[in-house]
């Protein structure tokens, strides 16, 4: 999903490369060029300057002298959670794996989640967890 698409879906503004593809969300410390991370504490905002993340979700006052690709949000943590859902939905729709459509419900009031129900990855675990949460919450 492109940075501009994520920002539009979340109703937020973005700067930098809006055409950059974001494949998943990752922690600030380990995020790479195809990943989205957020920063909202003083320490995280300082570390964000040297992060390898392809896109950062940051507060409106974040100083961006290098012209990094960022999405600005009043609450970066909440925006990141919403971005996970948006990215997971797009990713799930494009999944080719037969397991990617395994239902989370395995019995009355019993749901299972994990990457083994989707694709063996963090993204697969998130997608499976989202599917289970939707099944529980209706």
Residue ranges covered by each domain of the chain? 3-75, 95-137
For residue 89, name the pLDDT band (cuts at 50, 70, 90).
low
pLDDT of residue 22: 92
- The set of residues, in sequence order, having a beta carbon less than 8 Å from that of 94 and lying 6+ positions away, is none
Stronger pLDDT, 17 or 109, i.e. the higher one:
17
Q: pTM for this structure?
A: 0.66
> Per-residue pLDDT for 44 more than 80?
yes
> Per-residue pLDDT for 98 more than 60?
no
Task: Give the span between the Cα atoms of 129 and 138, in whole angstroms.
Answer: 14
pLDDT of residue 115: 73
How much is the average pLDDT of 47-55?
Answer: 93
Q: Strand, coil or helix: what is 98?
A: helix
What is the chain's Cα-based Rg? 16
- Phi/psi at 15 (5° precision): -135, 155
CATH class of 3-75: alpha beta
């Amino acid at each position: 999903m492109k940075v501009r698409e994520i920002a539009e879906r979340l109703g937020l503004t973005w700067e930098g490369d809006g055409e950059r593809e974001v494949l998943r969300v990752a922690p600030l410390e380990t995020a790479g060029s195809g990943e989205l991370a957020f920063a909202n504490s003083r320490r995280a905002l300082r570390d964000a300057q040297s992060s390898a993340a392809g896109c950062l979700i940051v507060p409106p006052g974040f100083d961006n002298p290098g012209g990094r690709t960022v999405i600005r949000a009043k609450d970066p943590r909440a925006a990141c959670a919403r971005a996970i859902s948006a990215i997971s939905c797009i990713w799930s729709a494009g999944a080719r794996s037969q397991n990617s459509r395994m239902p989370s419900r395995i019995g009355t009031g019993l749901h299972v989640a994990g990457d083994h129900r989707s694709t063996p990855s963090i993204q697969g675990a998130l997608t499976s967890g989202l599917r289970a949460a939707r099944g529980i919450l209706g």
